[in-house]
A and B are shown apart, each in its own frame.
Chain A
Amino acid sequence: MSGLSLRGVELARAGFHLGPIDLDVPPGTATVLLGPSGAGKTTLLRATAGFLAVRRGTIELDGRPLETEPPERRGFGFVPPSLGLFPHRTVERNVRFALEISGAPDAAARARRWIEHFALGSLARRYPSELSSGERQRVAMARALAAEPKALLWDEPLNALDVESREALLGVLTDVLEEERIPLLLVTHDPTTALALATRLVVLERGRIRFRGRPEELAAGRLDRFTARFLGYENLASREELAGCGDPARAADLLSRAGPGGLLLPPEAISWAPGAGSATVRSIRWTASGWSVTVQWGSLTVRAESGSPPGRLRAGDRVGLSIDLEKVKPLDASEGVGA
């Protein structure tokens, strides 16, 4: 098959076991490996690139087995977290590196094409130390693509970028995938990058896949507690916390909708009413999306959002809570659907 394919890939190093991992990254698509530090994302990417030996399993690129090939013969455009730009070479000579190594007769012209593509023409004679973070990212991208790779492997590509540069680079990456029709396997610990770029999303935890699916399946399908917490969801209530909430009558309602891992109560599903109630205000903050009020409701601590100001509400006040049951989601205890 075309594209990148991993089957039953396993490896062990320094007490850490990764896998077995099965992955398919078709041409023109981006699979994003997401997970906390130590989940095994970078280990999997480096094994795919050929810098770590796999213990079991197969890695194929366009049907060609790669497990025994050295990194220089695998055909990947690999970009490490630091980008790995050569500090002693100008932008132009960085981009030209692969073409020089392969002895391409038209190295300068081909490098020029990618330099222009990434709008690096005015920076061509500068050294990496003279560039901004965003410019360095573009150079890394141009250099990887100038080698005409059959797939891109990218480790934390948008690290240390401001929002504007990040958005711009996300756009460029998407265009490149579309134009070049090559697969991209990308590692990040940042859910925002992952959700913005991924055709398919793979969440890793301690060397195992915890979620696999399209980003939109996260909204439609059921989530496990780990994935939901990692993706930044708030108000993850366990069944025990729901049972001990401040209103026994409503606890039954909530429990009836909960999964084995409890219930996700999105902040926008919760509203408060000042006056006598079963919840106590713990804090009130203004955020970019409106007023945020954290309340203690029996054994449950939840955050609610409101576009309107909370009036004279103070920490310690009693409030009544209402929850829109149509917006709550059940949580699985472990693996999610789609895996």
Chain B
Amino acid sequence: MRAPSDRAVVAPALSAVLAASLLGLFVLPLVALFAYVGWGGFLFAVGDAGFWTSIEFTLLASGIAVGLGLLTGVPLGYLLARYRFRGREVVESIVLVPVVIPHLVVGVALLLLFSPTSPVGAFAQSLGIPVINAIWGVVLVMLYVGASYVVLSSQLAFRAVDPETVDAARSLGATPGEAFATVTLVASARGIATGALLMWARGVSEIGAFLIVAYAILPSPPWFGPVTPPASVYIWNLYNSSAGLLPAASASCLLVLVALAIFLGVRLLDRSGLSTPRGGWLS
């Protein structure tokens, strides 16, 4: 029979091996990508003004999408975490649909709903909000494919807040709004921020739905730049061009670095003590 001390050594060692194999799967393709591109290819991509325009556009659209995702997803997460109501299970299932639905289907569905000939599309157009091949189409796609992460993360975060902390805050003089803002929201900030980061990452990496509703973005407020595709579509276009794989691989390297820089920046901000215990809001 194995002694407990043996188990204490074997279990972490086995975990480390399994974890390392997954990390290897994450990292090795990127290593292959960077090795293929090389320094020359990398510099070529850095000098590609069209790529930077698509990055600038993607960051703007994803920023707006995450803002709207937080504005709508956090209240939904709160309702699901704190209230029991008829149809709650149905709502929870609907929240999961965008996670499993093929994103080409999302593109087709949004195209049908928002094409200028449809009632909804015509209405949006009349309000001066073009959707197809416009920034709002990209924002809608990002919201559709990513907001579920905000809802699910904030639902879990709100559920983890002890309701008695809210009671204590109320008896200490806080109105319901103050108790929510100073206790519930702050204590959940880490989970909500994690959801926002996942949503952002999901939106930036989207391509299928963009190919259908947002292949080339025409200037319309709040995007005042030149015509550009989102960054992922830009890379797709390079891949399909006659220039071969290298330009697409080079631009992909840059996109990976931009994403890594943003993740690292958020982590550093978190560590600097923006909020919550130990000065951080990301788990």
Query: Which of the four size classes fits the interface of chain A?
Result: 20 to 34
B172 at the interface (CB under 8 A from A): yes
Q: How many Å from the CB of A103 to the closest CB on chain B?
A: 10
Identify the closest chain A residue to B172 (Cβ). A98
**Residues from 103 to 141 in B contacting A, C-beta threshold 8 Å:** none
Q: How many A-B residue pairs have CB under 8 A?
A: 83
A88 touches B186 (CB 8 A): yes
Q: Cβ of A127: which chain B residues have Cβ within 8 Å of it?
A: 277-278
A147 touches B165 (CB 8 A): no
Known: A85-B165, A127-B278. A72 touches B187 (CB 8 A): no
B173 touches A98 (CB 8 A): yes
Contact with A along B267-283 (1 / 0, CB 8 A): 00000000111100000
A81 at the interface (CB under 8 A from B): yes
**Residues from 78 to 120 in A contacting B, C-beta threshold 8 Å:** 78-88, 97-98, 101-102
Q: How many Å from the CB of B268 to the closest CB on chain A?
A: 20
A87 touches B178 (CB 8 A): no
Q: Cβ of B159: which chain A residues have Cβ within 8 Å of it?
A: none
Choose from B165, B174, B183, B278 the contact partner of A72 (Cβ within 8 Å): B174
Q: Cβ of B174: which chain A residues have Cβ within 8 Å of it?
A: 72, 97, 101
Identify the closest chain A residue to B278 (Cβ). A127
Known: A87-B277, A127-B277, A127-B278. A82 touches B172 (CB 8 A): no
Known: A80-B164, A127-B278, A129-B277. A86 touches B171 (CB 8 A): no
Identify the closest chain B residue to A127 (Cβ). B277
Q: How far apart sit A101 and B176, CA to CA, in the bound complex (Å)?
A: 12
B169 at the interface (CB under 8 A from A): yes
A298 at the interface (CB under 8 A from B): no
B48 at the interface (CB under 8 A from A): no
A82 touches B164 (CB 8 A): yes
Q: How many Å from the CB of B191 to the closest CB on chain A?
A: 12
Q: Cβ of B171: which chain A residues have Cβ within 8 Å of it?
A: 49-50, 71-72, 74, 76-78, 144, 147, 153
Q: Cβ of A85: which chain B residues have Cβ within 8 Å of it?
A: 165, 168
Contact with B along A122-166 (1 / 0, CB 8 A): 000001010000000000000110010000010000000000000
B202 at the interface (CB under 8 A from A): no
Q: Which secondary structure dominates chain B's binding surface? A: helix
A88 touches B162 (CB 8 A): no
**Residues from 50 to 77 in A contacting B, C-beta threshold 8 Å:** 50-51, 70-72, 74, 76-77
Q: Cβ of B189: which chain A residues have Cβ within 8 Å of it?
A: 88
Q: Cβ of B277: which chain A residues have Cβ within 8 Å of it?
A: 87-88, 127, 129
Q: How far apart sit A51 and B179, CA to CA, in the bound complex (Å)?
A: 14
A79 touches B168 (CB 8 A): yes
Q: Cβ of A81: which chain B residues have Cβ within 8 Å of it?
A: 164
Identify the closest chain A residue to B165 (Cβ). A84
Known: A88-B186, A88-B187, A88-B277. A78 touches B167 (CB 8 A): yes
Q: How many Å from the CB of A316 to the closest CB on chain B?
A: 41
Q: Cβ of A88: which chain B residues have Cβ within 8 Å of it?
A: 186-187, 189, 275-277
Q: How far apart sit A77 and B169, CA to CA, in the bound complex (Å)?
A: 10
Q: How many Å from the CB of B275 to the closest CB on chain A?
A: 7
Q: How many Å from the CB of B205 to the closest CB on chain A?
A: 31
A80 touches B187 (CB 8 A): no
Q: Cβ of B173: which chain A residues have Cβ within 8 Å of it?
A: 72, 98, 101-102, 147
B164 touches A101 (CB 8 A): no
Closest 5 A/B residue pairs (Cβ): A84-B168, A78-B171, A80-B164, A98-B172, A84-B164
